[in-house]
């Protein structure tokens, strides 16, 4: 597969400048390729009564420093209302329903590649937008496809599966062709202040807060029992089902119990009706394993999706090794996925993302599990 890059020919690209190294190097590389480059810094969170205000201010300062160094203009825009309405309220609703959402995926869909793209197109008259994501684009006769990033450890196609081929066609991903260490080397060579800045973690645009405290601000905690899957014995108390996810083994506070072996405890279920957290010992416990899943809210990058039945691969969480599977359609909106081998800790509410080799086909939301 030969990748193609759009002809720069002085076309205008608006780069999402986050104050991090990836967007910094993206802007530099696009300038080197002959594009007319400007930056755009997004403010998407208004709760500035915490240390996160300092972090956001530092990010803007770093983004401005990089743009000054490169000699490009930096615009700013506030998408806080869009973020609250389209990302954060969904995030809270899913947690309240006992599911485990991925806000980064919704953020990419609603903010970075929708609100940002529309602003760049309509207000800043851009030909393209660019982000510091580790993915690649491939232009073919059938439209623009999205490929995994070259750096397998940093590949972010899992978080971008909701993009359409039209959105991918309007987007450039310069660092997707590079390994992370190459990106940092370029930034250092260019004297960019972000060359050794650590990668951001935490909730998209909200940052590195203590998650349980942050969530409790918006959803009141409801403590309940921790119960064993095999005997139904109550062995502890949880502070809220929303703080736990399937497959979790840390932070349960139930180690060293009498009459139990030394195997670690894992969350295997959340009983919403009784507000009970169900746990079992061993990472291969039958309650933790599934042979398949039903996936809904389907989105395909090419808007068509794979023919079915067909054998492809899937990821049910970020950085997971590809799982070989067979997919069939129950109907237009539901996909039945059967794994070649049982998989642990498949989690409703999370995204299942499908691949055909290097090509990210799209995906959907895990609705329920198939066992046995």
Sketch the domain layout of the chain as residue ranges.
Answer: 12-211, 221-283, 287-370
Q: In CATH, which of 2.40.10.10, 1.10.260.40, 3.40.50.620, 3.20.20.80 is domain 12-211?
A: 3.40.50.620
Mean pLDDT of residues grouped by 10 in the chain (372 residues)? Answer: 68 97 98 98 74 72 98 97 92 88 92 97 98 94 91 97 94 98 98 92 60 83 94 94 91 74 90 96 93 97 90 96 96 93 94 97 96 84
Marked catalytic residue, from 67, 107, 325, 360: 107
**What is the β-pairing status of strands 36-43 and 12-16?**
parallel
pLDDT reported for residue 209: 57
pLDDT in tens, 102-157: 889 999 999 999 999 999 999 999 999 999 999 999 988 878 999 999 999 999 99
pTM: 0.91
Q: Can you tell me whether residue 292 is helix, strand or coil?
A: strand
Query: Cβ neighbours of residue 60 under 8 Å, at least 6 residues apart?
Result: 19, 41, 43, 76
d(CA 14, CA 73): 10
For helices 21-33 and 180-189, what crossing angle results, to 10°? 70
Q: In CATH, which of 2.30.30.280, 2.40.340.10, 3.30.930.10, 2.120.10.30 is domain 221-283?
A: 2.30.30.280
CB 25 within 8 A of CB 16: no
To the nearest 10°, report the CA torsion of 119, 180, 322, 342.
-110
pLDDT reported for residue 275: 96
Level-2 CATH architecture, domain 287-370: Beta Barrel (2.40)
Marked catalytic residue, from 67, 204, 325, 360: 204
Pull the structure tokens for residue 273: 């009706």
pLDDT reported for residue 201: 64
CB 253 within 8 A of CB 332: no
368 assigned to active site: no
Pull the structure tokens for residue 303: 């808007």
Same topology, domains 12-211 and 221-283? Answer is no
Residues constituting the chain: 372
To the nearest 10°, report the CA torsion of 164, 165, 166, 168.
90
204 assigned to active site: yes
CB 267 within 8 A of CB 278: yes
């Amino acid at each position: 597969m030969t990748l193609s890059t759009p002809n720069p020919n002085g076309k205008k690209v608006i780069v999402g400048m986050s104050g991090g190294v990836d967007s910094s190097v993206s802007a530099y590389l696009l300038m080197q390729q002959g594009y007319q480059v400007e930056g755009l810094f997004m403010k998407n969170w208004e709760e500035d009564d915490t240390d996160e205000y300092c972090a956001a201010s530092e990010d803007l300062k770093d983004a401005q420093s990089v743009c000054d160094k490169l000699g490009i203009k930096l615009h700013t825009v506030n998408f806080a209302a869009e973020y609250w309405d389209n990302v954060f309220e969904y995030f809270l609703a899913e947690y309240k329903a006992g599911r485990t959402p991925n806000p980064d995926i919704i953020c990419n869909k609603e903010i970075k590649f929708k609100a940002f793209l529309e602003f760049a197109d309509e207000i800043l008259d851009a030909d393209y937008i660019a982000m510091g994501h580790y993915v690649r684009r491939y232009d073919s006769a059938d439209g623009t496809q999205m490929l995994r990033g070259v750096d397998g450890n940093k590949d972010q196609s899992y978080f971008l599966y909701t993009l359409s081929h039209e959105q991918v066609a309007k987007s450039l991903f310069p660092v997707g062709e590079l390994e992370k260490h190459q990106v940092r080397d370029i930034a250092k060579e260019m004297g960019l202040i972000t060359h050794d800045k650590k990668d951001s973690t935490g909730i998209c645009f909200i940052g590195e807060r203590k998650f349980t405290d942050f969530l409790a601000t918006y959803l009141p905690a409801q403590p309940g029992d921790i119960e064993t899957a095999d005997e139904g014995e109550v062995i502890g108390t949880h502070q809220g089902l929303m703080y736990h996810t399937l497959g979790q083994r840390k932070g349960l506070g139930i180690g060293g119990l009498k009459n139990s072996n030394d195997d670690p405890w894992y969350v295997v279920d959340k009983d919403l009706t009784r507000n009970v957290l169900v746990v079992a010992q061993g990472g291969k416990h039958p309650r933790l394993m599934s042979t398949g899943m039903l996936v809904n809210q389907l989105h395909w990058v090419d808007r068509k999706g794979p023919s079915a039945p067909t054998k492809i691969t899937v990821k049910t969480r970020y950085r997971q090794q590809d799982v070989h599977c067979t997919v069939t359609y129950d109907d237009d909106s539901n996909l039945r996925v059967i794994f070649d081998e049982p998989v642990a800790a498949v989690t409703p509410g999370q995204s299942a993302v499908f691949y055909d080799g290097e090509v990210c086909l799209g995906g959907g939301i895990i609705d329920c599990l198939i066992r046995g």
